[in-house]
Structure 1
Amino acid sequence: MGISGVGSVNSYIYNMKTGKLSTKDGLRDEFAEYFNDDLDGRDSHSLNGFDQQRKSGIKKMVSLMEEMGLGKNVLDTLQGDEIEITSEMADATTCIFSINGEKVFTVNAAVSYTPEEINVFGRLDHPYKTTHPTGYDPVRNRLSIGVGNVFSFGNGYKFTVERDRVRIDSYGKGTAEDYQNAGSFAFGLSALISFGDQQAFSALHRAAVSTPMMLEFLNELGVDTSREFIINDTRCEVRHGRIEEVGNKVGVPSSIHQKAVERYEKWMYLPLSKR
Protein backbone atom coordinates (compact mmCIF):
# COMPACT_ATOMS: atom_id res chain seq x y z
CA MET A 1 0.00 0.00 0.00
CA GLY A 2 1.11 3.58 -0.58
CA ILE A 3 1.26 6.37 1.96
CA SER A 4 -2.26 7.60 2.74
CA GLY A 5 -3.00 11.30 2.42
CA VAL A 6 -5.27 13.93 0.95
CA GLY A 7 -6.76 12.58 -2.28
CA SER A 8 -6.23 8.91 -1.39
CA VAL A 9 -8.95 6.52 -2.52
CA ASN A 10 -8.87 2.97 -1.13
CA SER A 11 -11.26 0.06 -1.57
CA TYR A 12 -11.50 -3.07 0.55
CA ILE A 13 -13.80 -6.02 1.01
CA TYR A 14 -15.57 -6.16 4.36
CA ASN A 15 -17.18 -9.35 5.63
CA MET A 16 -20.34 -8.50 7.57
CA LYS A 17 -20.30 -11.83 9.39
CA THR A 18 -16.63 -11.92 10.50
CA GLY A 19 -16.07 -8.16 10.78
CA LYS A 20 -12.80 -8.56 8.89
CA LEU A 21 -11.34 -6.44 6.09
CA SER A 22 -9.39 -7.83 3.12
CA THR A 23 -7.99 -6.56 -0.16
CA LYS A 24 -9.88 -7.05 -3.42
CA ASP A 25 -6.96 -9.01 -4.90
CA GLY A 26 -6.27 -11.04 -1.76
CA LEU A 27 -2.74 -9.69 -1.33
CA ARG A 28 -1.23 -8.70 2.03
CA ASP A 29 -2.04 -5.17 3.09
CA GLU A 30 -0.90 -3.37 6.25
CA PHE A 31 -4.08 -1.33 6.59
CA ALA A 32 -6.26 -4.45 6.43
CA GLU A 33 -4.06 -6.07 9.09
CA TYR A 34 -4.21 -2.90 11.16
CA PHE A 35 -8.01 -2.76 10.86
CA ASN A 36 -8.29 -6.43 11.84
CA ASP A 37 -6.02 -5.80 14.86
CA ASP A 38 -3.42 -8.20 13.47
CA LEU A 39 -0.89 -5.35 13.31
CA ASP A 40 -0.19 -2.62 15.83
CA GLY A 41 0.00 0.70 14.03
CA ARG A 42 3.14 1.60 15.97
CA ASP A 43 4.90 -1.35 14.36
CA SER A 44 4.48 0.13 10.89
CA HIS A 45 6.35 3.01 9.23
CA SER A 46 3.77 3.47 6.44
CA LEU A 47 0.55 3.73 8.45
CA ASN A 48 -0.24 7.27 9.53
CA GLY A 49 -2.98 9.44 11.00
CA PHE A 50 -5.12 9.19 7.88
CA ASP A 51 -5.12 5.40 8.26
CA GLN A 52 -6.10 5.78 11.90
CA GLN A 53 -8.98 8.02 10.83
CA ARG A 54 -10.04 5.53 8.14
CA LYS A 55 -10.06 2.67 10.61
CA SER A 56 -12.11 4.68 13.10
CA GLY A 57 -14.48 5.83 10.33
CA ILE A 58 -15.15 2.32 9.05
CA LYS A 59 -15.73 1.04 12.59
CA LYS A 60 -18.21 3.85 13.21
CA MET A 61 -19.94 3.29 9.88
CA VAL A 62 -20.35 -0.44 10.54
CA SER A 63 -21.75 0.35 13.98
CA LEU A 64 -24.30 2.72 12.45
CA MET A 65 -25.18 0.12 9.82
CA GLU A 66 -25.94 -2.44 12.51
CA GLU A 67 -27.65 -0.15 15.04
CA MET A 68 -29.25 2.63 12.97
CA GLY A 69 -29.81 1.04 9.56
CA LEU A 70 -27.24 3.18 7.74
CA GLY A 71 -26.95 2.08 4.11
CA LYS A 72 -30.03 -0.15 4.42
CA ASN A 73 -30.98 0.39 0.76
CA VAL A 74 -27.58 -0.98 -0.25
CA LEU A 75 -27.59 -3.87 2.20
CA ASP A 76 -31.08 -4.95 1.16
CA THR A 77 -29.65 -5.91 -2.23
CA LEU A 78 -26.66 -7.68 -0.71
CA GLN A 79 -25.97 -11.18 -1.91
CA GLY A 80 -23.68 -12.97 0.50
CA ASP A 81 -21.84 -11.50 3.47
CA GLU A 82 -19.34 -9.22 1.72
CA ILE A 83 -19.53 -5.56 0.77
CA GLU A 84 -17.02 -3.26 -0.85
CA ILE A 85 -16.03 -0.27 1.29
CA THR A 86 -14.30 2.66 -0.37
CA SER A 87 -12.75 5.55 1.53
CA GLU A 88 -11.85 8.88 -0.06
CA MET A 89 -9.81 11.56 1.74
CA ALA A 90 -11.47 14.64 0.23
CA ASP A 91 -9.26 16.95 2.30
CA ALA A 92 -7.28 16.81 5.52
CA THR A 93 -10.39 16.75 7.70
CA THR A 94 -12.98 15.03 5.50
CA CYS A 95 -13.18 11.33 4.71
CA ILE A 96 -16.06 10.02 2.58
CA PHE A 97 -17.09 6.36 2.78
CA SER A 98 -19.03 4.42 0.16
CA ILE A 99 -20.65 0.98 0.23
CA ASN A 100 -20.68 -0.83 -3.10
CA GLY A 101 -20.07 2.49 -4.85
CA GLU A 102 -22.79 4.48 -3.03
CA LYS A 103 -21.70 7.27 -0.67
CA VAL A 104 -23.32 6.71 2.72
CA PHE A 105 -21.09 8.21 5.43
CA THR A 106 -18.78 11.19 5.91
CA VAL A 107 -16.36 11.81 8.77
CA ASN A 108 -15.43 15.41 9.50
CA ALA A 109 -12.53 15.70 11.91
CA ALA A 110 -12.31 18.63 14.30
CA VAL A 111 -9.17 20.76 14.34
CA SER A 112 -7.63 22.52 17.32
CA TYR A 113 -7.00 26.24 17.54
CA THR A 114 -4.22 27.88 19.52
CA PRO A 115 -5.15 30.10 22.49
CA GLU A 116 -4.01 33.08 20.40
CA GLU A 117 -6.35 32.13 17.56
CA ILE A 118 -9.27 31.61 19.90
CA ASN A 119 -8.55 34.99 21.43
CA VAL A 120 -8.88 36.57 17.98
CA PHE A 121 -12.19 35.14 16.78
CA GLY A 122 -13.91 34.92 20.15
CA ARG A 123 -13.94 38.62 20.98
CA LEU A 124 -15.07 41.91 19.48
CA ASP A 125 -12.77 44.33 21.28
CA HIS A 126 -9.72 43.96 19.04
CA PRO A 127 -8.61 46.98 17.03
CA TYR A 128 -10.14 46.87 13.55
CA LYS A 129 -7.74 45.89 10.79
CA THR A 130 -9.32 48.14 8.15
CA THR A 131 -8.00 51.60 8.93
CA HIS A 132 -8.36 53.19 5.49
CA PRO A 133 -11.87 52.31 4.29
CA THR A 134 -12.61 53.04 0.64
CA GLY A 135 -16.39 52.76 0.57
CA TYR A 136 -18.45 50.78 -1.93
CA ASP A 137 -16.99 49.32 -5.13
CA PRO A 138 -19.90 48.40 -7.46
CA VAL A 139 -17.64 46.45 -9.84
CA ARG A 140 -16.70 43.94 -7.15
CA ASN A 141 -19.84 44.45 -5.07
CA ARG A 142 -17.43 45.19 -2.22
CA LEU A 143 -17.85 47.45 0.78
CA SER A 144 -14.78 48.58 2.70
CA ILE A 145 -15.67 49.86 6.17
CA GLY A 146 -13.45 50.58 9.14
CA VAL A 147 -11.75 53.20 11.27
CA GLY A 148 -12.81 56.71 10.33
CA ASN A 149 -16.20 55.90 8.82
CA VAL A 150 -19.09 58.02 10.07
CA PHE A 151 -22.73 57.10 9.44
CA SER A 152 -25.74 59.27 10.17
CA PHE A 153 -29.26 58.30 9.14
CA GLY A 154 -31.25 61.35 10.25
CA ASN A 155 -32.80 59.65 13.27
CA GLY A 156 -30.93 61.62 15.90
CA TYR A 157 -27.92 59.29 16.09
CA LYS A 158 -24.48 59.31 14.52
CA PHE A 159 -22.15 56.32 14.50
CA THR A 160 -18.39 56.81 14.34
CA VAL A 161 -16.03 53.89 13.77
CA GLU A 162 -13.11 54.36 16.12
CA ARG A 163 -10.03 52.20 16.62
CA ASP A 164 -11.81 49.32 18.34
CA ARG A 165 -15.47 50.32 18.76
CA VAL A 166 -18.40 52.08 17.19
CA ARG A 167 -19.20 55.26 19.10
CA ILE A 168 -22.80 56.46 19.33
CA ASP A 169 -23.46 60.19 19.35
CA SER A 170 -26.97 61.47 20.03
CA TYR A 171 -27.96 64.88 18.73
CA GLY A 172 -31.70 64.59 19.19
CA LYS A 173 -34.34 63.49 21.65
CA GLY A 174 -34.98 59.83 21.10
CA THR A 175 -37.11 57.33 22.94
CA ALA A 176 -35.80 54.40 24.98
CA GLU A 177 -36.58 52.19 22.00
CA ASP A 178 -34.56 54.49 19.72
CA TYR A 179 -31.58 54.23 22.05
CA GLN A 180 -31.89 50.45 22.22
CA ASN A 181 -32.03 50.23 18.43
CA ALA A 182 -28.97 52.49 18.19
CA GLY A 183 -27.09 50.13 20.50
CA SER A 184 -28.13 47.14 18.39
CA PHE A 185 -26.94 48.89 15.25
CA ALA A 186 -23.59 49.79 16.82
CA PHE A 187 -23.10 46.19 17.96
CA GLY A 188 -24.04 44.84 14.54
CA LEU A 189 -21.73 47.26 12.73
CA SER A 190 -18.81 46.42 15.02
CA ALA A 191 -19.42 42.70 14.52
CA LEU A 192 -19.70 43.16 10.76
CA ILE A 193 -16.38 45.03 10.57
CA SER A 194 -14.62 42.42 12.71
CA PHE A 195 -16.16 39.65 10.61
CA GLY A 196 -15.04 41.36 7.39
CA ASP A 197 -11.56 41.79 8.86
CA GLN A 198 -11.38 38.02 9.53
CA GLN A 199 -11.24 38.69 13.26
CA ALA A 200 -14.62 37.49 14.48
CA PHE A 201 -16.53 34.26 14.84
CA SER A 202 -19.52 34.46 12.51
CA ALA A 203 -22.06 33.82 15.29
CA LEU A 204 -21.23 37.22 16.78
CA HIS A 205 -23.24 39.00 14.09
CA ARG A 206 -26.31 36.73 14.10
CA ALA A 207 -28.35 38.74 16.59
CA ALA A 208 -32.04 38.73 15.65
CA VAL A 209 -32.24 42.53 15.81
CA SER A 210 -28.88 43.71 14.50
CA THR A 211 -28.60 41.34 11.52
CA PRO A 212 -31.68 42.74 9.69
CA MET A 213 -30.30 46.19 10.45
CA MET A 214 -26.99 45.29 8.84
CA LEU A 215 -28.69 43.90 5.73
CA GLU A 216 -30.72 47.10 5.36
CA PHE A 217 -27.58 49.15 6.00
CA LEU A 218 -25.64 47.29 3.30
CA ASN A 219 -28.48 47.67 0.81
CA GLU A 220 -28.68 51.41 1.46
CA LEU A 221 -24.97 51.73 0.69
CA GLY A 222 -25.46 49.94 -2.63
CA VAL A 223 -24.38 46.41 -1.73
CA ASP A 224 -26.36 43.73 -3.56
CA THR A 225 -26.86 41.12 -0.85
CA SER A 226 -28.90 38.88 -3.14
CA ARG A 227 -25.62 37.64 -4.58
CA GLU A 228 -22.05 37.21 -3.36
CA PHE A 229 -20.57 40.38 -1.91
CA ILE A 230 -17.34 41.34 -0.14
CA ILE A 231 -16.93 43.04 3.22
CA ASN A 232 -13.32 44.15 3.66
CA ASP A 233 -11.35 40.89 3.21
CA THR A 234 -14.23 38.42 3.39
CA ARG A 235 -16.40 36.97 0.63
CA CYS A 236 -19.96 36.92 1.97
CA GLU A 237 -23.40 35.62 1.18
CA VAL A 238 -26.76 35.64 2.93
CA ARG A 239 -27.87 32.19 4.06
CA HIS A 240 -31.09 31.72 5.99
CA GLY A 241 -31.20 35.44 6.75
CA ARG A 242 -27.64 35.47 8.09
CA ILE A 243 -24.45 36.98 6.73
CA GLU A 244 -22.00 34.12 6.28
CA GLU A 245 -18.58 33.64 4.74
CA VAL A 246 -18.80 31.94 1.35
CA GLY A 247 -17.88 28.25 1.58
CA ASN A 248 -17.27 28.41 5.33
CA LYS A 249 -19.01 25.62 7.24
CA VAL A 250 -17.20 26.01 10.56
CA GLY A 251 -17.94 29.62 11.47
CA VAL A 252 -14.34 30.40 12.41
CA PRO A 253 -12.76 32.91 9.97
CA SER A 254 -11.31 30.98 7.04
CA SER A 255 -7.84 32.56 7.35
CA ILE A 256 -7.58 31.24 10.92
CA HIS A 257 -9.25 27.90 10.22
CA GLN A 258 -6.94 27.21 7.27
CA LYS A 259 -3.85 27.58 9.46
CA ALA A 260 -5.35 25.08 11.91
CA VAL A 261 -6.12 22.67 9.05
CA GLU A 262 -2.53 22.94 7.78
CA ARG A 263 -1.17 22.05 11.23
CA TYR A 264 -3.63 19.17 11.46
CA GLU A 265 -2.63 17.85 8.03
CA LYS A 266 1.07 17.81 8.94
CA TRP A 267 0.22 15.92 12.11
CA MET A 268 -1.92 13.41 10.18
CA TYR A 269 0.94 12.61 7.82
CA LEU A 270 3.14 11.54 10.73
CA PRO A 271 3.63 7.73 10.86
CA LEU A 272 1.83 6.11 13.77
CA SER A 273 5.21 4.78 14.88
CA LYS A 274 6.33 8.37 15.64
CA ARG A 275 3.27 9.47 17.58
Structure 2
Amino acid sequence: MRFGLLGTGPWATAVHAPVLHAHPGVEFAGVWGRRPEAAAELAGRFDARPYEDLDALLAEVDAVAVALPPAVQSRLAVRAAEAGCHLLLDKPLAITVPDARAAVEAAEAARVASVVFFTTRFGVEQSAWIDEQAAVGGWFTGRADWLGAVFTSDSPFATPWRREKGALWDVGPHALSVLLPVLGEIASVTAVRGPGDTVHLVCGHASGASSTATLSLTAPPAASGSTAELRGASGVTVLPERNDGPAAALHRAVDALQQAAATGIAHPCDAAFGLRVVEVLAAAEQSLDKGAAVLL
Protein backbone atom coordinates (compact mmCIF):
# COMPACT_ATOMS: atom_id res chain seq x y z
CA MET A 1 0.00 0.00 0.00
CA ARG A 2 1.46 3.35 -1.05
CA PHE A 3 1.24 5.82 1.82
CA GLY A 4 1.56 9.56 1.94
CA LEU A 5 2.22 11.34 5.22
CA LEU A 6 0.46 14.62 5.93
CA GLY A 7 2.29 16.56 8.62
CA THR A 8 5.84 17.29 9.72
CA GLY A 9 5.52 17.97 13.46
CA PRO A 10 6.94 16.03 16.41
CA TRP A 11 4.42 13.16 16.17
CA ALA A 12 4.98 12.78 12.42
CA THR A 13 8.74 12.91 12.87
CA ALA A 14 9.05 10.61 15.88
CA VAL A 15 6.39 8.02 15.08
CA HIS A 16 4.63 8.20 11.71
CA ALA A 17 7.56 8.59 9.37
CA PRO A 18 9.74 5.87 10.97
CA VAL A 19 6.82 3.42 11.05
CA LEU A 20 5.79 4.03 7.45
CA HIS A 21 9.44 3.66 6.39
CA ALA A 22 9.91 0.40 8.30
CA HIS A 23 6.55 -1.31 7.77
CA PRO A 24 7.02 -4.27 5.38
CA GLY A 25 3.61 -3.81 3.79
CA VAL A 26 4.02 -0.11 3.05
CA GLU A 27 5.71 1.92 0.37
CA PHE A 28 6.39 5.28 2.01
CA ALA A 29 5.78 7.38 -1.08
CA GLY A 30 5.72 10.99 0.01
CA VAL A 31 5.37 13.75 2.59
CA TRP A 32 3.27 16.89 2.47
CA GLY A 33 3.35 19.60 5.11
CA ARG A 34 2.19 23.13 5.65
CA ARG A 35 5.88 24.12 5.64
CA PRO A 36 7.44 22.83 2.40
CA GLU A 37 10.97 23.03 3.81
CA ALA A 38 10.01 20.77 6.72
CA ALA A 39 8.37 18.30 4.33
CA ALA A 40 11.54 18.21 2.23
CA GLU A 41 13.73 17.61 5.28
CA LEU A 42 11.52 14.83 6.68
CA ALA A 43 11.08 13.12 3.32
CA GLY A 44 14.83 13.18 2.75
CA ARG A 45 15.46 11.35 6.01
CA PHE A 46 13.24 8.44 4.99
CA ASP A 47 13.81 8.14 1.24
CA ALA A 48 10.39 9.56 0.42
CA ARG A 49 9.40 12.31 -1.98
CA PRO A 50 8.40 15.76 -0.69
CA TYR A 51 5.26 17.25 -2.21
CA GLU A 52 4.32 20.92 -2.27
CA ASP A 53 1.06 20.14 -4.08
CA LEU A 54 -1.25 18.10 -1.84
CA ASP A 55 -3.50 17.04 -4.72
CA ALA A 56 -0.50 15.62 -6.56
CA LEU A 57 0.36 13.48 -3.53
CA LEU A 58 -3.24 12.30 -3.12
CA ALA A 59 -3.35 11.27 -6.76
CA GLU A 60 -0.31 9.02 -6.38
CA VAL A 61 -0.96 7.14 -3.14
CA ASP A 62 -3.42 4.53 -1.86
CA ALA A 63 -3.65 5.88 1.67
CA VAL A 64 -2.65 8.81 3.85
CA ALA A 65 -1.48 8.93 7.43
CA VAL A 66 -2.39 12.25 9.04
CA ALA A 67 -0.36 13.83 11.84
CA LEU A 68 -1.83 17.34 11.94
CA PRO A 69 -3.94 19.39 14.36
CA PRO A 70 -7.53 18.09 14.39
CA ALA A 71 -9.06 21.21 12.82
CA VAL A 72 -6.70 20.77 9.87
CA GLN A 73 -6.98 16.98 9.79
CA SER A 74 -10.76 16.92 9.41
CA ARG A 75 -10.68 19.13 6.33
CA LEU A 76 -7.87 17.19 4.69
CA ALA A 77 -9.53 13.87 5.52
CA VAL A 78 -12.47 14.92 3.37
CA ARG A 79 -10.13 15.93 0.57
CA ALA A 80 -8.17 12.68 0.77
CA ALA A 81 -11.29 10.52 0.85
CA GLU A 82 -12.69 12.31 -2.19
CA ALA A 83 -9.39 11.46 -3.96
CA GLY A 84 -9.96 7.78 -3.13
CA CYS A 85 -7.36 7.48 -0.35
CA HIS A 86 -7.80 5.25 2.68
CA LEU A 87 -7.46 7.19 5.93
CA LEU A 88 -5.16 6.59 8.90
CA LEU A 89 -6.18 9.46 11.18
CA ASP A 90 -5.10 10.79 14.56
CA LYS A 91 -7.34 11.52 17.52
CA PRO A 92 -9.45 13.53 17.93
CA LEU A 93 -10.94 13.23 14.47
CA ALA A 94 -12.01 16.90 14.59
CA ILE A 95 -12.86 19.58 17.13
CA THR A 96 -16.44 20.14 16.00
CA VAL A 97 -19.19 17.62 15.38
CA PRO A 98 -20.00 18.95 11.87
CA ASP A 99 -16.34 18.65 10.81
CA ALA A 100 -16.12 15.10 12.18
CA ARG A 101 -19.38 14.14 10.48
CA ALA A 102 -18.14 15.56 7.17
CA ALA A 103 -15.06 13.31 7.33
CA VAL A 104 -17.21 10.26 8.05
CA GLU A 105 -19.62 11.06 5.24
CA ALA A 106 -16.76 11.61 2.78
CA ALA A 107 -15.18 8.25 3.68
CA GLU A 108 -18.52 6.47 3.34
CA ALA A 109 -19.32 8.12 0.03
CA ALA A 110 -15.92 7.20 -1.41
CA ARG A 111 -16.00 3.72 0.15
CA VAL A 112 -12.54 4.11 1.60
CA ALA A 113 -11.39 2.47 4.83
CA SER A 114 -10.58 4.53 7.90
CA VAL A 115 -8.80 3.96 11.19
CA VAL A 116 -8.39 6.52 13.96
CA PHE A 117 -5.19 5.94 15.92
CA PHE A 118 -6.36 5.71 19.52
CA THR A 119 -3.03 4.51 20.88
CA THR A 120 -4.42 2.36 23.69
CA ARG A 121 -6.70 0.46 21.34
CA PHE A 122 -3.67 -0.79 19.40
CA GLY A 123 -1.68 -2.09 22.35
CA VAL A 124 -1.71 -5.90 22.44
CA GLU A 125 -2.54 -6.29 26.12
CA GLN A 126 -4.89 -3.32 26.22
CA SER A 127 -6.96 -4.26 23.16
CA ALA A 128 -7.32 -7.83 24.42
CA TRP A 129 -8.42 -6.56 27.85
CA ILE A 130 -11.01 -4.20 26.32
CA ASP A 131 -12.47 -6.98 24.16
CA GLU A 132 -12.58 -9.35 27.13
CA GLN A 133 -14.33 -6.87 29.44
CA ALA A 134 -16.86 -5.93 26.74
CA ALA A 135 -17.72 -9.62 26.42
CA VAL A 136 -18.01 -10.10 30.20
CA GLY A 137 -20.49 -7.25 30.67
CA GLY A 138 -22.37 -6.58 33.88
CA TRP A 139 -20.20 -3.61 34.80
CA PHE A 140 -21.49 -1.28 37.50
CA THR A 141 -19.02 1.56 37.13
CA GLY A 142 -15.73 2.47 35.53
CA ARG A 143 -13.11 5.16 35.83
CA ALA A 144 -10.28 6.38 33.64
CA ASP A 145 -7.47 8.75 34.61
CA TRP A 146 -5.29 10.24 31.87
CA LEU A 147 -2.82 12.67 33.42
CA GLY A 148 -0.09 14.21 31.30
CA ALA A 149 2.67 16.68 32.11
CA VAL A 150 2.80 18.35 28.69
CA PHE A 151 2.40 21.84 30.18
CA THR A 152 4.54 21.22 33.27
CA SER A 153 7.61 19.85 31.49
CA ASP A 154 9.72 20.66 28.48
CA SER A 155 7.49 18.77 26.05
CA PRO A 156 7.53 19.19 22.26
CA PHE A 157 3.80 18.42 22.33
CA ALA A 158 2.81 21.71 23.99
CA THR A 159 1.48 22.77 20.60
CA PRO A 160 -0.91 25.66 19.95
CA TRP A 161 -3.98 23.49 19.44
CA ARG A 162 -3.34 21.64 22.72
CA ARG A 163 -2.93 24.94 24.55
CA GLU A 164 -6.25 26.08 23.10
CA LYS A 165 -8.29 22.89 23.59
CA GLY A 166 -6.53 21.35 26.60
CA ALA A 167 -6.71 17.87 28.07
CA LEU A 168 -10.39 17.34 27.32
CA TRP A 169 -9.67 17.13 23.60
CA ASP A 170 -6.14 15.69 23.73
CA VAL A 171 -6.30 12.87 26.28
CA GLY A 172 -10.08 12.70 26.61
CA PRO A 173 -10.23 10.57 23.43
CA HIS A 174 -7.92 8.00 25.04
CA ALA A 175 -10.19 7.62 28.08
CA LEU A 176 -13.32 7.42 25.96
CA SER A 177 -11.75 4.87 23.62
CA VAL A 178 -11.56 2.52 26.61
CA LEU A 179 -14.85 3.34 28.35
CA LEU A 180 -17.17 3.39 25.33
CA PRO A 181 -16.56 -0.13 23.95
CA VAL A 182 -16.85 -1.69 27.42
CA LEU A 183 -19.67 0.28 29.08
CA GLY A 184 -21.57 1.22 25.95
CA GLU A 185 -23.00 4.43 24.55
CA ILE A 186 -22.87 7.53 26.72
CA ALA A 187 -26.31 9.07 27.27
CA SER A 188 -25.31 12.02 29.46
CA VAL A 189 -22.13 13.79 30.49
CA THR A 190 -21.31 16.30 33.21
CA ALA A 191 -17.97 18.11 33.18
CA VAL A 192 -16.31 20.28 35.81
CA ARG A 193 -12.96 22.05 35.81
CA GLY A 194 -10.00 21.20 38.02
CA PRO A 195 -6.56 22.80 38.35
CA GLY A 196 -4.94 24.06 35.17
CA ASP A 197 -6.58 22.46 32.16
CA THR A 198 -7.84 19.51 34.22
CA VAL A 199 -11.39 18.35 33.49
CA HIS A 200 -13.42 15.79 35.43
CA LEU A 201 -16.19 13.91 33.57
CA VAL A 202 -19.14 11.97 34.95
CA CYS A 203 -20.82 9.89 32.27
CA GLY A 204 -24.11 8.01 32.34
CA HIS A 205 -24.17 5.08 29.95
CA ALA A 206 -27.23 3.70 28.21
CA SER A 207 -26.38 0.33 29.75
CA GLY A 208 -27.13 1.75 33.20
CA ALA A 209 -23.47 1.91 34.20
CA SER A 210 -21.72 5.13 35.12
CA SER A 211 -18.13 6.19 34.61
CA THR A 212 -15.77 8.97 35.60
CA ALA A 213 -12.68 10.34 33.91
CA THR A 214 -9.99 12.73 35.10
CA LEU A 215 -8.10 14.39 32.27
CA SER A 216 -5.12 16.73 32.50
CA LEU A 217 -2.03 17.96 30.69
CA THR A 218 -0.89 20.05 33.68
CA ALA A 219 -0.24 17.28 36.19
CA PRO A 220 3.10 17.34 38.01
CA PRO A 221 5.51 15.06 36.13
CA ALA A 222 5.71 12.72 39.11
CA ALA A 223 1.92 12.33 39.06
CA SER A 224 1.53 11.70 35.33
CA GLY A 225 0.26 8.44 33.94
CA SER A 226 -2.91 6.69 32.84
CA THR A 227 -5.14 3.96 34.19
CA ALA A 228 -8.63 2.56 33.84
CA GLU A 229 -10.58 0.42 36.28
CA LEU A 230 -13.89 -1.43 36.07
CA ARG A 231 -16.08 -2.70 38.90
CA GLY A 232 -19.03 -5.00 38.44
CA ALA A 233 -20.64 -8.35 39.17
CA SER A 234 -17.47 -10.20 38.20
CA GLY A 235 -15.24 -8.11 40.46
CA VAL A 236 -12.59 -5.48 39.83
CA THR A 237 -10.24 -5.32 36.87
CA VAL A 238 -7.60 -2.79 35.80
CA LEU A 239 -6.35 -1.93 32.31
CA PRO A 240 -2.91 -3.55 31.89
CA GLU A 241 0.10 -1.36 31.26
CA ARG A 242 1.45 -1.17 27.73
CA ASN A 243 4.65 -3.09 27.16
CA ASP A 244 5.60 -1.33 23.94
CA GLY A 245 5.53 2.20 22.64
CA PRO A 246 3.45 4.21 20.19
CA ALA A 247 5.48 3.07 17.18
CA ALA A 248 4.51 -0.57 17.73
CA ALA A 249 0.89 0.49 18.18
CA LEU A 250 0.99 2.47 14.92
CA HIS A 251 2.37 -0.57 13.10
CA ARG A 252 -0.79 -2.41 14.18
CA ALA A 253 -2.98 0.51 13.16
CA VAL A 254 -1.45 0.35 9.67
CA ASP A 255 -2.17 -3.39 9.62
CA ALA A 256 -5.76 -2.67 10.66
CA LEU A 257 -6.25 -0.13 7.89
CA GLN A 258 -4.85 -2.53 5.30
CA GLN A 259 -7.18 -5.27 6.49
CA ALA A 260 -10.22 -2.96 6.45
CA ALA A 261 -9.31 -1.82 2.93
CA ALA A 262 -8.88 -5.40 1.72
CA THR A 263 -12.02 -6.85 3.31
CA GLY A 264 -14.42 -3.91 3.32
CA ILE A 265 -15.14 -4.66 6.99
CA ALA A 266 -14.99 -1.53 9.14
CA HIS A 267 -12.54 -1.47 12.03
CA PRO A 268 -13.99 -0.73 15.50
CA CYS A 269 -11.85 2.43 15.61
CA ASP A 270 -13.01 3.79 12.27
CA ALA A 271 -14.01 7.38 11.55
CA ALA A 272 -17.58 6.68 12.71
CA PHE A 273 -16.24 5.78 16.15
CA GLY A 274 -14.06 8.88 16.01
CA LEU A 275 -17.22 10.92 15.37
CA ARG A 276 -18.90 9.41 18.43
CA VAL A 277 -15.94 10.42 20.58
CA VAL A 278 -16.11 13.98 19.21
CA GLU A 279 -19.82 14.10 20.03
CA VAL A 280 -19.10 13.21 23.65
CA LEU A 281 -16.24 15.73 23.90
CA ALA A 282 -18.43 18.46 22.41
CA ALA A 283 -21.17 17.64 24.93
CA ALA A 284 -18.60 17.82 27.76
CA GLU A 285 -17.51 21.23 26.49
CA GLN A 286 -21.15 22.35 26.53
CA SER A 287 -21.47 21.06 30.09
CA LEU A 288 -18.47 23.15 31.15
CA ASP A 289 -20.12 26.22 29.68
CA LYS A 290 -23.59 25.52 31.11
CA GLY A 291 -22.53 24.12 34.49
CA ALA A 292 -24.99 21.27 34.04
CA ALA A 293 -25.32 17.81 32.56
CA VAL A 294 -25.77 17.51 28.79
CA LEU A 295 -27.80 14.74 27.17
CA LEU A 296 -26.52 13.06 24.03
Greater radius of gyration (CA): 1
Structure 1 length-normalised TM: 0.22
Structure 2 length-normalised TM: 0.21
